[in-house]
Amino acid sequence: MKNSMKHALVAAGLAAAATLAAPVAQAQVCSVWLVENSRFMGVPFGAFMPDRAFVPGSTSPSNNINTVDLPVNVGVIKCGNELILYDAGWNQTEYHKMTGTAHWSPLSKQIEQIGFKAADVKKIIVGHGHWDHAGSLDEFPNAVLYIQREELRGIEWALNYPHPRISAVNDSPGSCARTPACGYPSKTMDSIYGKVLRGKAVIVDGEMDVLPGVKIHPAFRAHTAGSQLLEVNTAIGKLMFGSDAYSSWEGIRDWQIANPQQTDTVQQFLAYEKCYKITGGYQNCVCAHEPLSYSDKYPLTKNSWVGMNGGRLAEITLAPGEKSRKP
């Protein structure tokens, strides 16, 4: 008995030593830029963040702003020779013409401003499948899409739900913001499906290491059924892209929910917590629609400039040896 115990301990020790000796993939240091694909203008603050609803006559900084302009931020991540997008913006020219949006340009053109071509993009990791985050996939034919299985199953579940008010993609113009199948137009879904059919998609189940130093974390129901975050190793520490699991940087800083579309607010807070844990605070959490983006008030994004059609860009951090692409 004693001998077998000794053998077991020796075996365990050897295994541990072998693990330590094994070559560990070195986490790369990546460069990161942020591109404003468009801006939704004049959105009532309370519709974006319920805790910031406008109260006429209020002097409280939390409630004295009527409307905000929401950028649609897309992450451009370069790790070695690998170019990755986090989220893919949108491309609906009729929408752009008919509604209160501004500063939109095709994402494939926008990244040219920082010296990248659409054909160079090898991976697109969408935080979720909504039209304004997965709407430009067709512009990047070489890119492999990463989307959570849970996201696709969540939409399908909703579509087949027996009650029409729940299953509707939208049941009347302008009313679908919080039904579970809303926000997924057939065009966006066809683009995702096209990627799958062409062998250009990875259906992700939970966590996944995309590259050394680049890791997907699930944030299910933090905005949609299969939302996902992206951890990126950089020279300024780890960054965590949140898409709409944390749409607002002020929201994550102040622990207030934001953009509650198909959101379980507890899960959204857990996504906030994940960013705090992995990056060591809220400063390195990258938010999709923060109104303060590209200003000193959201320090991570302050190194910014104005590009085509008034859309803004920010150079967040550079890997050693990477030259600035800011004009």
Partner 1 sequence: MQTEVSESQRTARAAALKGFSVGVVVVGLIALVAVAAIRETAKPRQVEVATNSAFGHSERPPMTAAEETYAHALWPVHAQVKQDAVKMTFAGLAYKMGDIKRAAVKDRVALLTPKFESALTEINKLQPPASMRELHSEYVEAIKLYRDASVIMVKVAADGRDVHLAEAQERSERASTLTLKVGDTLWPGEYKPN
Using CB under 8 A, which residues numbered 77 to 106 contact partner 1? 92, 94-95, 97-101
The count of C-alpha atoms lying within 13 angstroms of the C-alpha of 59, restricted to the half-sphere facing its C-beta, is 0
Give the three-class secondary structure for 304: strand
Rg over CA atoms, the chain: 21
Rounded to 5 degrees, what are φ and ψ at 213? 95, -5
Examine residue 173 and tell whether it contacts partner 1 (CB under 8 A): yes
131 binds partner 1 (CB under 8 A): yes
Q: What's the sign of the alpha-carbon dihedral 229, 275, 73, 48?
A: positive
Beta strand 144-148 with 121-125 is parallel
CA distance 126 to 133: 7
Based on the shown chain and the rule CB under 8 A, indicate whether residue 176 belongs to the binding site for partner 1: yes
User: Quick one: which segment of 5-13, 188-196, 233-241, 273-281 binds partner 1 (CB under 8 A)?
Assistant: 188-196
**Would you say 30 or 192 has its CB closer to partner 1?**
192
Q: Between residues 78 and 128, which has the closer beta carbon with respect to partner 1?
A: 128
Does 141 help bind partner 1 (rule: CB under 8 A)? no
Give the C-alpha separation, 68 to 273, whole Å.
Answer: 25
Residue 221 touches partner 1, criterion: CB under 8 A: no
How far is it between the farthest Cα atoms of the chain?
80
- Residue choice 29, 34, 49, 72 for contact with partner 1 (CB under 8 A): 72
Residues in 280-299 that interact with partner 1 by CB under 8 A: 289
Q: Does the protein bind partner 1 through residue 194 (CB under 8 A)?
A: yes
The only residue of 29, 30, 37, 40 in contact with partner 1, by rule CB under 8 A: 40
121 scored as a contact of partner 1 (CB under 8 A): no
Nearer to partner 1, 189 or 278 (CB): 189
> Three-state SS for 148?
strand
Using the contact rule CB under 8 A, the part of the chain among 80-88, 148-156, 248-256, 313-321 near partner 1 is 148-156
Please say whether the beta carbons of 311 and 103 come within 8 A.
yes
How is residue 322 annotated by DSSP?
A: P
- Report the DSSP beta bridge partners of residue 240: 231, 285
Token pair belonging to 10: 């020796």
Per CB under 8 A, the list member of 8, 13, 42, 277 interacting with partner 1 is: 42
For the segment 229-258, give every residue that binds partner 1 (CB under 8 A). 244
The CB-of-13 to partner 1 minimum distance in angstroms stands at 42
Retrieve residue 94's tokens.
């009729």
Residue 219 lies near partner 1 (rule: CB under 8 A): no
Q: How far apart are the first and last CA of the chain?
A: 72
Smallest distance, partner 1 to C-beta of residue 273, A: 23
Rounded distance between C-alpha atoms, residue 326 and residue 305, angstroms: 8
Residues forming the site for partner 1 (CB under 8 A): 40-44, 47, 70, 72, 92, 94-95, 97-101, 130-132, 149, 152-153, 155-156, 159-160, 167-174, 176-177, 181-187, 189-194, 196-198, 203, 244, 259, 261, 289
